Homo-oligomer: A and B are copies of this chain.
Amino acid sequence: MKLSGGVEWALHCCVVLSRASAPVPSARLAELHGVSKTYLAKHLQALARAGLVRAAEGRDGGYALTREPAAITVLDVVEAIDGDQPAFRCTEIRQQGELALPPEECRVPCGIARVMAEAERSWRRSLAGTTIADLGASLDPARLDRVLGRG
């Protein structure tokens, strides 16, 4: 099982935006964490598509969160980057081969599919239990302003 590498960057990026005193241009966001601008642009677009960040135009333009950091969960960011498809995908092999069950015995998901889905629900619930505001506490806004040349 593997999550997209962009998840780490996107979460750190949302934390930065939650602590910034004004929108942050995407080139600056890339420099803050030493990632490539192309890499970053792709993930910022995914965050924007998911409605988590918005680009402000103009001289002081840049990216900002669209809502309170306390209203954005880790799960929101993970799903924006990695998608919300289940990790386990049942192909109904119980209906194939010599041991195949008739369709009328397959109206509810099989026990295996249910166990896999329940585990993913636990994972999602856990990620939904922490917000960007919870994570933001570790980043000092004064230090961020200084690094951004706004000190």
- The interface residues of chain B lying within 8 Å CB-to-CB of A122 are 119, 122-123, 125-126
For A, the interface residue count at a CB cutoff of 8 angstroms equals: 55
| B34→A3 contact, CB < 8 A | no
User: What separation, in Å, do the CA atoms of A110 and B33 have in the docked complex?
Assistant: 14
| A8→B88 contact, CB < 8 A | yes
| B115→A74 contact, CB < 8 A | yes
Any chain B CB within 8 A of the CB of A89? yes
CB distance from A125 to the nearest CB of B (A): 7
CB distance from A113 to the nearest CB of B (A): 8
User: What separation, in Å, do the CA atoms of A100 and B31 have in the docked complex?
Assistant: 10
User: What separation, in Å, do the CA atoms of A112 and B8 have in the docked complex?
Assistant: 8
User: What separation, in Å, do the CA atoms of A100 and B34 have in the docked complex?
Assistant: 9
User: What separation, in Å, do the CA atoms of A137 and B127 have in the docked complex?
Assistant: 32
CB distance from A117 to the nearest CB of B (A): 10
Which residues of A are interface residues toward B (Cβ below 8 A)? 1-3, 5, 7-9, 11-12, 15-16, 30-35, 74, 82-83, 85, 87-91, 93-94, 96-100, 110-113, 115-116, 118-120, 122-127, 130, 134-135, 137-138, 144, 147
* Extra 18 A-B pairs, beta carbons < 8 Å, given A74-B119, A99-B144: A1-B3, A1-B82, A3-B89, A5-B91, A7-B88, A8-B113, A15-B112, A31-B97, A31-B98, A32-B99, A33-B96, A33-B97, A34-B100, A35-B97, A74-B115, A98-B147, A122-B122, A123-B126
